């Protein structure tokens, strides 16, 4: 299954007040991530995606993806453990003249047999144990990063604009 969300970001934005939107996903393994910036944004449109307060794409909390006629695409192995999960898409457009659009695409597999095809070195019987270990490690990393971010900015998400777009 491929999740896709196309978003138009209005002109005149800034890093101080990015727009927040949500993308629903479900329990399973992300195997592919893509972010497309159509021609015209000239690097003025910035995007990042979080899983709660955990920076997911890009993984550095202070960084943003940007581009112009650019496809950012890479394989991934990120496991979502709850069936009704929402990723948060943060974006802003520094262009003072034009609104710009971007598209997020996430490939995800749900069934263990398909998840096993992305982790071929593991026997099918150990997939559940492996997913549990991966999820626990991700949760520990999330907690550590969130703690560092909260200590740095003084509050969860640093008071970012939480308006829906």
Q: How many domains does the chain divide into?
A: 1
pLDDT of residue 110: 79
pLDDT of residue 164: 44
> In this structure, is residue 86 part of a structural domain?
yes
> In this structure, is residue 139 part of a structural domain?
yes
> In this structure, is residue 29 part of a structural domain?
yes
pLDDT of residue 160: 53
> In this structure, is residue 27 part of a structural domain?
yes
What CATH number has the domain bearing residue 139?
2.60.120.380
Backbone angles phi, psi at 137, to 5 degrees: -65, -40
**Placement of tokens 């955990």 in the chain:** 54
Displacement of CA 91 from its chain's centroid (Å)? 11
> In this structure, is residue 130 part of a structural domain?
yes
Sheet strands (E) in 13-114 = 19-25, 28-37, 45-51, 54-57, 70-80, 85-93, 100-109
pLDDT of residue 165: 45
- Domain hosting 64: range is 2-159
> In this structure, is residue 101 part of a structural domain?
yes
pLDDT of residue 57: 96
pLDDT of residue 69: 97
The low-confidence residues of the chain, meaning pLDDT below 70, are 111-127, 154-165
Instruction: Give, in order, the Cα–Cα distances in Å from 38 to each of 2, 70, 95, 104, 122.
Output: 19, 7, 14, 12, 39
Q: What is the pTM of this model?
A: 0.72
> In this structure, is residue 10 part of a structural domain?
yes
pLDDT of residue 113: 59
How many helices (H) and strands (E) in the chain? 2, 8
pLDDT of residue 132: 81
> In this structure, is residue 165 part of a structural domain?
no
């Amino acid at each position: 299954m491929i999740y896709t969300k196309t978003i138009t970001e209005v002109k005149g934005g800034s890093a101080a007040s990015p727009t927040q939107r949500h993308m629903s996903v479900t329990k399973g393994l992300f195997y592919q991530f893509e972010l497309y910036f159509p021609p015209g944004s000239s690097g003025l449109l910035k995007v990042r995606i979080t899983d709660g307060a955990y920076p997911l794409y890009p993984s550095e909390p202070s960084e943003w993806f940007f581009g112009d006629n650019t496809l950012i695409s890479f394989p991934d192995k990120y496991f979502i453990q709850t069936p009704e999960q929402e990723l948060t898409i943060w974006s802003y457009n520094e262009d003072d003249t034009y609104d710009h659009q971007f598209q997020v695409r996430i490939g995800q597999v749900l069934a263990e047999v398909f998840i096993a095809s992305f982790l071929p070195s593991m026997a099918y019987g150990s997939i559940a144990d492996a997913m549990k270990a991966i999820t626990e490690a991700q949760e520990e990393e999330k907690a550590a990063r969130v703690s560092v971010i909260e200590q740095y900015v003084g509050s969860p998400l640093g008071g970012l604009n939480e308006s829906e777009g």
